[in-house]
Amino acid sequence: MKACIAALAISPLATRVAAWGATGHEAVGYVAMAFLAPNALDFVQTSLGSDYNKSLGVAGPWADQIKSNDAYDWASELHYVDAQDDPPSSCSVDMDRDCANGKCILTAIANYTSRVVDDSLTEDEQQEALKFLDHFIGDLGQPLHVENKELGGNYIDVECNGKSTNLHSLWDSGIINVLLDGKDAEDWAADLTKRIQSGAYASLADDWITCADPTDPLRRRGLSLRDDIWTFLESRAITPLKCPLEWAEDANSYDCSAVFTYEDGDDLCEGAYYDDAVETVELQVAKQGYRLAAWLNVLFDGETNL
């Protein structure tokens, strides 16, 4: 009997579906490629090689593709942090409350940041670290990867253009599929990249890669991504970095302002909900792509270079 209970306790309650669908992850990776500094670009191209056409865009979905491989079961809980808040009325992320066992997307980003620049590892291990970073920095921007409610929305049935889906899947891929209507991730990413370089996102992008220290109660101290990463690399204790914690809070805030704001019976691929969702998804994918580039630039070129 004891053995049975133990076995039940460790078996997952439900298999979580993919994060940003493949398209979302590809787009994050392609956006990042446009902003890599020379050494970061060289590392990425060499490490990913012809298996991934030397591209973070192609490699982005890898960490979801391995979910069907039992050897990688340990990694399935690293795609999210289960914020135990109560959207839409209250949104928050708290490490002690939400990542108590030390295994969540925030500790994973710390681990693979340390490993990707660890030359004592094999090339395969460094490539794995790069692919996990590519993917997890993407997932961190998906509001339902920073949410515990109803298994990150997996248990909530909703409609998209008359078809049944669930809220999580809608935000991973449903909204993106309606928006792109057949256009591919690379074209979408090129469009988002242009917006960062000279369009609607140009005035916002600097703020995407600086943070207010979330561990400072007054949140007045600005913190550069460079200082966050360099301080971390001095100790390499697997504790979350400060900027990703703030980015998690940023993504989680959309659970209150956009994700959980529907009324029963609404079709979520129509009207104001859909318009807000598209705006949020495009912004979050652009942000995470830009942040991924900044991250790798600090690691390999010493500065964000942006």
Ligand X SMILES: *[C@@H]1O[C@H](CO)[C@@H](O)[C@H](O)[C@H]1NC(C)=O
Q: Which two tokens stand for residue 209?
A: 């890669």
**Closest distance to Zn ion from the beta carbon of 109 (Å):** 12
Q: Looking at beta carbons only, is 161 or 197 nearer to ligand X?
A: 197
**Closest distance to ligand X from the beta carbon of 228 (Å):** 19
Contact pick of 34, 190, 233, 238 for ligand X (by CB under 6 A): 238
Does position 22 interact with Zn ion (CB under 5 A)? The reply is no
Helices (H), ranges, the chain: 2-10, 22-33, 38-48, 56-59, 62-65, 95-98, 105-116, 123-139, 149-152, 167-169, 175-180, 185-198, 205-208, 225-235, 242-254, 271-301
Contact pick of 19, 196, 268, 299 for Zn ion (by CB under 5 A): 19
User: Tokens 């710390």 identify what position?
Assistant: 110
What, of Zn ion, ligand X, none, does residue 238 touch, CB below 5 to 8 Å by kind? ligand X
Is residue 93 a contact partner of residue 110, using CB atoms and an 8 Å limit?
Answer: no
Q: Which amino acid is at 57?
A: G
Does position 53 interact with ligand X (CB under 6 A)? The reply is yes
Does position 139 interact with Zn ion (CB under 5 A)? The reply is yes
Whole-angstrom Cα distance, residue 294 to residue 45?
Answer: 16
Over its C-alpha atoms, the chain yields an Rg (Å, rounded) of 19
**Closest distance to Zn ion from the beta carbon of 34 (Å):** 22
What, of Zn ion, ligand X, none, does residue 139 touch, CB below 5 to 8 Å by kind? Zn ion
Q: Looking at beta carbons only, is 112 or 262 nearer to ligand X?
A: 112
Coil vs helix vs strand at 294: helix
In this structure, the strands spanning 210-212 and 222-224 are antiparallel
Q: Looking at beta carbons only, is 90 or 122 nearer to ligand X?
A: 122
Q: Looking at beta carbons only, is 17 or 121 nearer to Zn ion?
A: 17
Binding to ligand X (CB under 6 A) within 186-215 occurs at: none
Contact positions toward ligand X, by CB under 6 A?
Answer: 53, 107, 111, 115, 238
